[in-house]
Amino acid sequence: MFTRTGQLRILWWRIQSVQTTFTNSGVAAITGLERDFARSLVCKAEARGLVTRLKPGLFVLVPSELGIATQFSGHPYLTARAMVGCADYYISHSSAVELHRMVTQPQFTVFTSTPKRLRARTILGTEFRFVFVPPERLFGVSAHWITKQDLVRISDLERTVIDGLRQPECCGSIAEVARGLWMRREDLTTSRAIDYALRLRVGSVIRRLGYLLDLYHLAPGPELQRLRSALTVTDSLLDPVMPKEGLSTAAWRLRPNVVPAELEAIGSTQLSGM
């Protein structure tokens, strides 16, 4: 018979060789132990600081180099992936902005888009927010390596811009989305971003994308016309979290309730520093 310490070491070694986040049932499947015995071992491992409970039934291994710890939540993007479970998902909004190097400030909230309805949670100081997206709108997603052995699904560069234009509040503001767009303009495929906007069929997104591409001269006339052809008679705010100010522009049926100089400065300032 193994001692309790020996059993915990075997558990840790077997789980680590497969994944760093796990459930009680996952432990039973990986180790071949009965579920009650597996659950008991996980509880003992948690008590000894070998694993940390992220939420009821979900745990993360504490890296061996940290020794025994009770305040370890793992890599935030891997934790978000584990919290979604078997549902489809992708890392999105300000988190994708960070992964695509479209922002210079660190982000402290992890955004995940998924067709599974989940409540926001805060784990050891990190907030995890889940944005509902219907299955038919799960497109523009790519794989991104987080570690040498772990990858997650994230929105590609163009879909990140589109998600930011749809929900600027999840990226800070429309100015932050514009800044990220400008920073990665040389890598952005504008025709793909336009395809995504038209496929999404959200009027405010079409207007905001057209306005910014037009402002920064990032798309030729025929491409902009594709967006204009999809405009309806209603108006939208450029930034939905700002007061309803400004006059509607005829070109994009958009009320630029952000100081124009602020958006213009994003392009001119960064361009002059290149």
Residues of the chain with pLDDT under 70: 1-19, 31, 33, 63-74, 269-274
Q: Which amino acid is at 102?
A: M
Indicate the pairing of strand 58-61 with strand 51-55: antiparallel
Nearest alpha carbon to residue 123 among 136, 108, 133: 108
Q: What is the pLDDT of residue 2?
A: 43
CA atoms within 13 A on the CB side of 92: 27
Nearest alpha carbon to residue 84 among 126, 53, 129: 129
Cβ contacts of 88 within 8 Å, gap of 6 or more: 114, 115, 116, 135, 138
Nearest alpha carbon to residue 242 among 159, 181, 172, 164: 172
Q: What is the pLDDT of residue 131?
A: 98
Nearest alpha carbon to residue 164 among 208, 126, 133: 208
Q: What is the pLDDT of residue 18?
A: 54
What 3-state DSSP class applies to 188? coil
Q: What is the pLDDT of residue 60?
A: 77
Q: Is 236 left (phi over 0), alpha (psi -120 to 50) or beta?
A: beta
Q: What is the pLDDT of residue 125?
A: 80
Cβ contacts of 9 within 8 Å, gap of 6 or more: none
pLDDT tens-digit map of 147-201: 888 899 999 999 999 999 999 999 999 999 999 999 999 999 999 999 999 999 9
- Residue ranges matching CATH 1.10.10.10 in the chain: 4-66
In angstroms, the CA 91 to CA 167 distance is 14
Distances (CA, A) of 241 to 114, 167, 200, 227, 257: 23, 9, 21, 23, 10
Q: What is the pLDDT of residue 1?
A: 41
Q: What is the pLDDT of residue 41?
A: 75
pTM of the model: 0.79
In angstroms, the CA 139 to CA 110 distance is 20
Q: Which pair of tokens denotes residue 192?
A: 């793909």
Q: Are 223 and 194 in contact (CB under 8 A)?
A: yes
Backbone phi, psi, residue 51, to 5°:
-135, 160
Q: What is the pLDDT of residue 157?
A: 98
Q: What is the pLDDT of residue 271?
A: 44
Q: What is the pLDDT of residue 93?
A: 97
Please give the DSSP secondary-structure letter assigned to residue 249: B
> In the chain, what's the furthest Cα-to-Cα distance?
79
Please give the DSSP secondary-structure letter assigned to residue 171: S
Q: What is the pLDDT of residue 273?
A: 43
Q: At what angle are helices 4-16 and 24-31 packed, to 10 degrees? A: 90
Q: What is the pLDDT of residue 51?
A: 76
CATH code for the domain defined by 4-66:
1.10.10.10
